[in-house]
Structure 1
Amino acid sequence: MKSKENGILNQSDIYFYTPSTQAQKIFLYPLCTGHYYYSPDYRLERNSYDSFLLMFILKGSCTIGTNEMTAAVTENQIAFLDCYQPHSYFTKTGWEALWIHFDGVLAREYYDLIHSSLGNVITLKSNYLFLKILTLLFENFHQNSNLKEPLLSQYIITLLTQLLLSQGEYETEIRNSNIVDEIVSFIHKNLSSPLSLDFLAKKASLSPYYFLRLFKDNTGFTPHEYILLSRINLAKFTLKTTDMSVKEIGLHCGFSSESSFCTAFKKSVQMTPSVYRNTSVN
C-alpha cells in the first residue's frame, strides 16, 4: 500500500502486519515493512514507536539520531534502532531503503547484544544473505503471500544472526561454543564414568582454568554443577521407569556409592530417591 507520510515519494510501498497472540508470546514478528524512497529534506523525529527497526540503505545516505549519538548511514550500510527510545532519521539529499519494524520475545535481548558490540550503524562483509532475506520478507507482503508466523520469525532471526556473525570476535565465540557443545555431548554419553575437571579440560585441549570459565560462560553452570544436575536428572528418570535398586541407579548415574547418591539427590530434589520413586511428582 502507498504511504501518506510527508516526504515519502509515490513509488514507495509499506505493509502492516498484526501478529497473533501466540506469535506475541513465542516468536519474533514484523509489525510493518517497506521499500521507501525519501525526498530531500525528509525528517522524522519520534519519542517512541514500540518496535525495533532494521533499515538497509540501498542508495544515498541519511543521518540517524538517538539520545546517545548522531551518525551517518550510507549505501550498503544498516541502521539498527531501538524505537522504544527517542530516535530520528533525516536527510538533505534523499535516500532509498528497505526496512522492517519488528518486535517479540527476545527482541530486546537481540538488540542489546548486537548494539553493545556493533552500535547503531552496521557494515557487513557481505550483504548478500541479509539483503536477500529482507527483500524476501518485503516481497512476500507485496505479493500478499500467506506466510506462516514461524517462518516470519525465522526470517527475522536470520537477519539478526547475520549481524551477530559480522563480529570478528564472534567467530571465536562460535568455536568456543562448539567446544562446549562437544564436551556437553560427551558428558551425557558418559555420566556413569568419572568426569573430573582436569579430564574434561584435557579432552577440550584447554587449561582447567580456561575450560572452567568457558564452560560456565556457555552453560551458566560449572562443569561439576552441570554433571551433578545431569546425573540427578538421569536418576529421576531411571527411578520412575525401571525396577533397578537405589544403589544400582546411583552407580549407573556415576555416583561413587549409594550414600553419596542419596545425599546429593536429597539435597537437589528435597526428598530421598525412594520417596521420589513412590510419589506422583515428575
Structure 2
Amino acid sequence: MRSTEFKVSPQSDYYVYTPSALARKLYLYPLLTGYFIYEPGYFIERNHFDNFLIMYISKGTCTVSAGSQSYTASAGQFVLLDCYHPHSYGSEDSWEAVWLHFDGPLARAYHDEILSECGPVIAPAHPEVPGGLLSRIYEIFCTSSPLEEHALSDYITRILNSLLFSGQSKKRSALRTSSITDTITYINEHFHESLTLTTLAKQANVSPYHFTRIFAKETGMTPHHYLIATRISAAKFLLKSSGTSIKEIAFRTGFQSETSFCNTFKKWEGCTPSQYRSSGTLSPSAF
C-alpha cells in the first residue's frame, strides 16, 4: 500500500498484517512493515501505539525520543522503541528506513534487555545481518510471498538476538565472553568434585574477587550458587531416574556427606530427597 502520510515520499509503501490466535499466543509476530523515504521536516509524535518498533536507517539521520531522552540514529544503525509509551522521531533532513511494528509474548522482555545493553539506538558491527533479515520480512509482504508465521517469528527473533548480542559483545571483555563460559563448562563437568572459589578463579585466571563479580554479572548467580544449583539438578535426575541410594547420590553429586546433601536439598526444594523421590513413580527398569 502506497503511503499518503505527510512528508513521506509517495514512492514509500507499507503492509498491514493481522496475526492468528496461535501466533499471538506463541510467536513474535509482525503487525506493519514498510520502507519509507522521509522528506525533510518529517516528524511524528505518539503517546502510545500498542506494539514495538524496529527501524533500520538505510540513509540519512534522524532524531529519536523515548521518554525524556533524545538520541541520534544514522545510516547503518537500528532504532528499537517501546511504542506503548510516548515516543517520537523525525529529522529536518531527508532519510530512509525499513521498519517493522511487531509484538508477541517475549517482545517486552527482548526490548527491555536490549535497552539495558544498548539503549534505543543500536550500532551493530555487522548491520547487514539484522538489516538483511528486516528487509527480508518487508520483501515477503512486498512480493506477496506465502506468509508462514513461524518463519516470520524466526526472522524477528534472529533480528532481536543479533541486536542484543551485538550490544553485549561491546560491553563484555574477553574474560566475560570466553573465561566465564569455560568456567561454566568446567563446573558442569566437575560438579561432583570438591570445587572451591579459588579453584574456579584459577581456571579463569583472575582473582577470586574479580571472578565472583563478573560471574555474578554474567549468570545472575554467585559461583557457589551456580555450583549448588548444578549439583541439585543432577541429584534430582538421579532421584527420579534410578534406584541409587540417597547416600550414594550425595557423594556422586559432590556433597561431603548424606546429611549435608539432605539439608541442602530441603533448603532448595522444600522437601527431603526421599520425599522428592516418592512424589513420582519410578520406572521398574530403574531399579
For this structure pair, what is the TM-score category when the shorter chain's length is used for normalisation?
0.7 to 0.9
Question: Given the alignment of the two structures, is residue 223 of structure 1 paired with residue 223 of structure 2, yes or no?
Answer: yes
TM-score, normalization: structure 2?
Answer: 0.83
Between stretches 211-220 and 73-82, larger displacement belongs to: 73-82
Displacement of 1:259: 1.9
Question: Given the alignment of the two structures, is residue 35 of structure 1 paired with residue 40 of structure 2, yes or no?
Answer: no
Displacement of 1:267: 2.5
Deviations 1:201-226 (A, max 9, x none): 11121211122122222222222222
Identical amino acids, percent of aligned pairs: 43
- One-letter amino acid of the structure 2 residue matched with residue 68 of structure 1: S
Per the alignment, residue 160 of structure 2 pairs with 160
Q: Tell me the distance in 2 between the aligned counterparts of 1:209 and 1:233.
A: 26
Displacement of 1:14: 0.8
Per the alignment, residue 103 of structure 1 pairs with 103
Q: Tell me the distance in 2 between the aligned counterparts of 1:122 and 1:278.
A: 51
Per the alignment, residue 12 of structure 1 pairs with 12
Per the alignment, residue 208 of structure 1 pairs with 208
Distance 1:169 1:280, change over 3 A: closer
Per the alignment, residue 260 of structure 2 pairs with 260
Contact in 2 for aligned 1:215/1:223 (Cα 8 Å): yes
Displacement of 1:47: 1.5
Deviations 1:21-61 (A, max 9, x none): 34334432221110122344443222111122222233344
Question: Given the alignment of the two structures, is residue 85 of structure 1 paired with residue 74 of structure 2, yes or no?
Answer: no
Displacement of 1:279: 2.5
Displacement of 1:79: 3.3
- One-letter amino acid of the structure 1 residue matched with residue 156 of structure 2: I
Between stretches 247-256 and 79-88, larger displacement belongs to: 79-88
Q: Tell me the distance in 2 between the aligned counterparts of 1:239 and 1:96.
A: 59
Distance 1:233 1:80, change over 3 A: closer
Q: Tell me the distance in 2 between the aligned counterparts of 1:157 and 1:166.
A: 14
Q: Tell me the distance in 1 between the aligned counterparts of 2:220 and 2:67.
A: 33
- One-letter amino acid of the structure 2 residue matched with residue 185 of structure 1: T
Distance 1:179 1:69, change over 3 A: same
Q: Secondary structure at the match of 2:56?
A: strand
Q: Secondary structure at the match of 1:277?
A: helix
Contact in 1 for aligned 2:240/2:280 (Cα 8 Å): no
Q: Tell me the distance in 1 between the aligned counterparts of 2:78 and 2:269.
A: 49
Deviations 1:236-277 (A, max 9, x none): 221222222221111111111222222222222333322332
Q: Tell me the distance in 1 between the aligned counterparts of 2:216 and 2:185.
A: 15
Deviations 1:155-198 (A, max 9, x none): 22333344345448636257514433322222222232111111
Q: 1:192-203 maps to which residues of 2 (within 5 A)?
A: 192-203=192-203
Give 5+ residue unaligned stretches, structure 1.
none
Q: 1:117-132 maps to which residues of 2 (within 5 A)?
A: 118-132=118-132
Structure 1 segments (4+ residues) deviating >6 Å:
none
After superposition, the CA RMSD in angstroms is 2.8
Displacement of 1:139: 0.5
TM-score, normalization: structure 1?
Answer: 0.85
- One-letter amino acid of the structure 2 residue matched with residue 259 of structure 1: T
Distance 1:207 1:150, change over 3 A: farther
Displacement of 1:144: 2.1
Q: Tell me the distance in 1 between the aligned counterparts of 2:70 and 2:274.
A: 64
Question: Given the alignment of the two structures, is residue 179 of structure 1 paired with residue 176 of structure 2, yes or no?
Answer: no
Q: Tell me the distance in 1 between the aligned counterparts of 2:116 and 2:266.
A: 42
Q: Tell me the distance in 1 between the aligned counterparts of 2:66 and 2:258.
A: 61
